[in-house]
């Protein structure tokens, strides 16, 4: 890792974005904008979405928002997956991946202390002075430790109400932990403990998913399981500050996740919405220590469309800031993802191009701001 990437100051990060001087303050992050002049009473124009893209757009929009309806996702009890009721839980898991692309995971075995410490470390990182956060600021998507803002700050004409810290492969590259933020004091320990535990959990969930697809007895999934165990992990720590006019903007625009599975840890503040039945519905958390797990683009490709990677987005609010920690998991970065041959036949022909993490990075580096669904670019049918 180049030391320049880690020590990059905010001015050099801004120059990398290729934007005009008037946008400089927005490239420093939404938290900087909120802190610069004290509490905001209006949303700056840089964050105001076109009326058709706003959270509460009219019902003439094909993606109708049900403002007062919360969605109780299917609940998967991980403890029961390891007991005599496994076959029934596998059926529920399969149905959730087909119908929703999301499920709540409870009794997952990661201690409450590790979860709590990760949330606190995340919260305190975003409470650091801007000068501390800016040490890790970069617009380069290949940077392994990167502080940034919006969704794609190099391309977005309208910015999202979000700052993030992204750490790539935290468990397989322990030597780089010295390049992670050293403040708050317990940050590195919390991230390493949490990333190790979520990586192990991901492997066990994927084993259940392969079984639910009817693949576990074949030779091919044995190879896939090895790749899963050696797979990539990207942790994204998100901060969504309070917003004076939340109906005008979004924390994140509609998107799908690129990997196999994402394990999302949220605080108690609601914000995640998924597209279900042609409508946007707010996910109702089941407990402070549960995960929301969603199917990624790579798993939809691998399952040849049987399991669905679903569009989701993030709302903001005027009362409370919100944090979340997304742990995105997939095969190793050098691996090619393709539909499993056992799930391809005359009745269900191959539906997706072979793809890789390099394809994804190229896509997000070059795509137009309104073409964010990577999966659509991989479809054959």
% of the chain at pLDDT higher than 70: 87
Q: What pLDDT, on the 0 to 100 scale, is given for residue 67?
A: 45
> Of all residues in the chain, what percent carry a pLDDT higher than 90?
64
Which of the pair, 334 or 307, is modelled with greater confidence?
307
Question: How much is the average pLDDT of 115-129?
Answer: 96
**Domains of the chain as residue ranges with CATH:** 3-332 (2.60.120.330)
Q: Which tens digit of pLDDT belongs to each residue from 28-86?
A: 999 999 998 778 999 999 999 999 999 987 443 444 444 446 788 999 999 999 889 99
Q: How confident is the model at residue 356 (pLDDT cuts 50, 70, 90)?
A: confident
Query: Whole-model pTM?
Result: 0.88
| 233: confidence class by pLDDT, cuts 50, 70, 90 | very high
- pLDDT at residue 299 above 90? yes
Mean pLDDT of the chain: 86
Higher pLDDT, 341 or 10: 341
The pLDDT tens digits for 147-187 are 999 988 888 899 999 999 999 888 765 555 557 777 788 89
- Name the least confident of 30-39, 137-146, 241-250: 137-146
* pLDDT value of residue 223: 86
HEC per residue, the chain: CCHHHHHCCHHHHHHHHCCCHHHHHHHCCHHHHHHHCCCCCCCCHHHCCCHHHCCCCCCCCCCEEEEEEEECCCEEEHHHHCCCCHHHHHHHHHHHHHHCCEEEEECCCCCHHHHHHHHHHHHHHHCCCHHHHHHHECCCCCCCEEEEECCCCCCCCCCCCCEEEEEECCCCCHHHHHHCCCCCCCHHHHHHHHHHHHHHHHHHHHHHHHHHCCCCCCHHHHHHHHHHHCCEEEEEEEEECCCCCHHHCCCEEEECCCCCEEEEEECCCCCEEEEECCEEEEECCCCCCCEEEEECHHHHHHCCCCCCCCCEEECCCCCCCEEEEEEEEECCCCCEECCCHHHCCCCCCCCECCEEHHHHHHHHHHCCCCCCCHHHHHECC
Q: Given this model, what pLDDT does residue 177 score?
A: 57
pLDDT at 66: 43
């Amino acid at each position: 890792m180049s030391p320049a990437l880690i020590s990059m100051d905010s001015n050099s990060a801004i120059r990398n974005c290729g934007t005009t001087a008037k946008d400089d303050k927005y490239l420093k992050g939404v938290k900087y904008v909120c802190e610069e002049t004290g509490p905001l009473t209006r949303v700056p124009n840089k964050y105001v979405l076109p009326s058709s893209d706003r959270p509460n757009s009219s019902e003439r929009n094909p993606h109708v928002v049900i403002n007062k309806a919360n969605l109780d996702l299917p609940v998967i009890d991980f403890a029961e997956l390891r007991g005599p009721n496994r076959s029934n839980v596998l059926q529920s898991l399969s149905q959730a991946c087909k119908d929703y692309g999301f499920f709540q995971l409870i009794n997952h075995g990661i201690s409450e202390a590790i979860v709590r410490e990760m949330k606190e470390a995340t919260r305190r990182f975003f409470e650091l002075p801007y000068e501390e956060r800016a040490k890790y600021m970069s617009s380069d998507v290949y940077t392994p430790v990167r502080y940034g803002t919006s969704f794609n700050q190099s391309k977005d004409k309208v910015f999202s109400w979000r700052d993030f810290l992204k750490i790539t492969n935290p468990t397989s590259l322990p030597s780089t932990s010295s390049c992670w933020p050293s403040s708050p004091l317990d940050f590195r320990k919390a991230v390493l403990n949490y990333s190790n535990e979520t990586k192990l959990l991901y492997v066990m969930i994927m084993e259940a998913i392969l079984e639910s697809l009817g693949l576990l007895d074949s030779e091919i999934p044995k190879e896939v399981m090895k790749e899963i165990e050696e797979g990539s992990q990207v942790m994204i720590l998100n901060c969504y500050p309070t917003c004076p006019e939340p109906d005008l903007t979004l924390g994140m625009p509609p998107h799908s996740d690129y990997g196999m599975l994402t394990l999302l840890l949220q605080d108690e503040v609601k914000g995640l919405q998924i597209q279900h039945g042609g409508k946007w519905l707010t996910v109702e958390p089941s407990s402070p220590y549960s995960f929301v797990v969603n199917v990624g683009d790579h798993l939809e490709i691998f399952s040849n469309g049987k399991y669905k990677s679903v569009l989701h987005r993030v709302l903001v609010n005027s009362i409370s800031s919100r944090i979340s920690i997304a742990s995105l998991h997939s095969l190793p970065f050098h691996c090619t993802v393709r539909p499993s041959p056992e799930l391809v036949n005359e009745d269900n022909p191959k539906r997706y191009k072979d793809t890789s993490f390099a394809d994804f990075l190229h896509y997000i580096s070059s795509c137009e701001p309104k073409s964010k669904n990577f999966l659509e670019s991989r479809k054959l049918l």
